[in-house]
Structure 1
Amino acid sequence: MRCAGIVSYNPDLGRLRTNLHATAPQVRQVFIYENGSANAAAVHALCEDEFDNVQVIADTENRGIAFALNQLLAAAHDGGYEHILLLDQDSVPTEGMCDELERHLSGTVALVSPFILDRNRMTMAEYKAMAMPPLERLDHAAKHGAITSGTLNDVEAALAVGGFDDDLFIDYVDFDFNERLLLNGYTIIKDNKACLIHEKGKSEQTLLRVPRRGPGGALTWKPLYKLGYGPTRCYYQTRNRIIYWKKYHRWTGMEGVTEIPMLMALSLLFESNRIAKLRAYARGIQDGARMQVKEYRK
């Protein structure tokens, strides 16, 4: 038996409605954790007026996505659900996605991720034309890892590894959780037959290209995208990458940290509000370096 969990914070109501109409028929119940949005009343009205299997769990402030995800795990556990589909408020699961993901959620498999179709980077036609393996086993939490949105999770396994780290607030919350799954003997699968329509920031293509390996292993030159995050997100991007390195470097090496200079360069070269973002990156590096973080032990 499965449910879905969505974290809501100042959502675009049209996109949230599209999400819910795509999600609600695929699960028995949808829990929305309302993180103190300015339009919280409109979120409640939408759910009450148009859906009979959507429950809003209201908060009065934004406690971060990690805290909200833990409340959704608790709601799934208390409701007797074995599996929970976790979604961002603007992600849209395609038809049959949950059924396809759930086929693989057994044994040591604790998390199954769909193919992520970023609506700012790819069309559905391009996705369907791609040559890639139907299934991939993900051996790294962060490098080519599974983002939270769209993942179908085994509730007991998620709780067994401690759920999500509230202290991270936002960014690298998913990879931190995934690393603990892997270190505790669980398996993470990516099912490329299932597709989630998603949006990572406000991606825009830059003039730069870098070599990347595709699903089949072939090396091709791909464009770099700027993400358009605000200064607050830039802060957490850098701080949490350093925290992740401190916790898991024994197993992950420099994974995550090495991308910080590239993130800074993309923001400074191609984005607006450069000074505020540079200060946010610097503060994130400083706070991450200063924070006392316990190295993770199995």
Structure 2
Amino acid sequence: MKTAAVVIWYNPEPLFVENLKSYAEHVDHVVVIDNSNTDNAALLADVAGVHYEALHQNLGIAAALNRGFETARQLGAEWVLSMDQDSSFESENVSLLLANIETASSDIAVIGYSETGSTSKTGLRDVNKVITSGCLNRMSAFSRINGFNEDLFIDQVDFEYCFRLKEAGFRIMQDRAVQMRHNRGDPEPKEFRGRSYTTTNYNPTRRYYQVRNRLYMRRKFPQYGMQHIKNIVYATRNVILFEDNKLSKLAAMAQGAWHFVIGRYGPR
């Protein structure tokens, strides 16, 4: 059964090539889709067999994933390992994750790693969602729901994809034994009135997408409760109490809410 890894780049650094090498030898093909304004193919000069495509503009994570998955399909891949540029595996963890392909029933569409992974827990468990990075994706399921939602551009692209797969009758799984190195924003621990908090320090544009897309998710998938509204509340609190550039971030968040109301999606 053929496999491919698809990784999305944006203004890549040499370290991201090392991340790619951590899983490249475990799959049949590696596809790099570059959302940068410039061509960065030179970074891959010493890495053989990589299919690189420069988009010369930022089309968003969803569009880049769709482009990468289509390339993987053309290469004959039945499963795609989706990766972020700042994510990497230890060799044994890639092997553990890929081993699930051999026993996956036909209704399993996505197999992700556990963000709180513990080797003391083994086996797959059903979950509602997993992040895109470090996931195995069944290509036939991807085709069934027409891929990722490009209207969202970035933020919630992975969870929206998982929720639509579940609506189509597929299962989302998590392998609790698999761990991966992955960075999220620029997290910073803070204290306020004796309590500890962690803020991601996302820039204003990311805060815009965060609000707009999570309001969209709450409306489209109300069965998953108030998690998206709670996230917006916590993010607003963190910006006000802990983060720099408060006015720009709050203005971007307000704009995101307004664009949700008027139905404006795609890039900001």
Does TM, normalized by the shorter one, top 0.5?
Answer: yes
- State the partner residue of 1:65: 61
1:18 to 1:253, Cα distance in 2 relative to 1, 3 A = same
- State the partner residue of 2:79: 83
Is 1:99 the counterpart of 2:95? The answer is: yes
Unaligned runs of 5+ in 1: 118-126, 210-221, 294-298
- State the partner residue of 1:35: 35
Please point out which of 228, 247, 255 is paired with 2:201. Answer: 228
- State the partner residue of 1:217: none
1:290 corresponds to which letter in structure 2?
I
Please point out which of 158, 163, 171 is paired with 1:174. Answer: 158
Q: Give TM-score scaled by structure 2 length.
A: 0.90
Please point out which of 281, 284, 296 is paired with 2:253. Answer: 281
Distance 2:238 2:148 in 1: 29
1:4 corresponds to which letter in structure 2?
A
Cα RMSD over matched residues? 2.1
Distance 2:11 2:18 in 1: 15
Distance 2:168 2:9 in 1: 30
How many residues are treated as equivalent by the alignment? 260
Deviation of the 1:153 alpha carbon: 0.8
1:239-269 deviations in Å (ceiling 9; x for gaps):
00011122222x2233312221111111121
- State the partner residue of 1:244: 217
Is 1:201 the counterpart of 2:189? The answer is: no
Distance 2:26 2:119 in 1: 27
Distance 1:111 1:208 in 2: 39
1:78-129 deviations in Å (ceiling 9; x for gaps):
1110111101111112213333123334211111111237xxxxxxxxx6xx
Normalized per residue, which structure has more strand? 1
Over the matched positions of the two proteins, sequence identity in percent amounts to 31
1:58 corresponds to which letter in structure 2?
A
Distance 1:156 1:88 in 2: 22
Is 1:44 the counterpart of 2:32? The answer is: no
Distance 2:202 2:24 in 1: 29
Contact 2:6 2:31 in 1 (8 A): yes
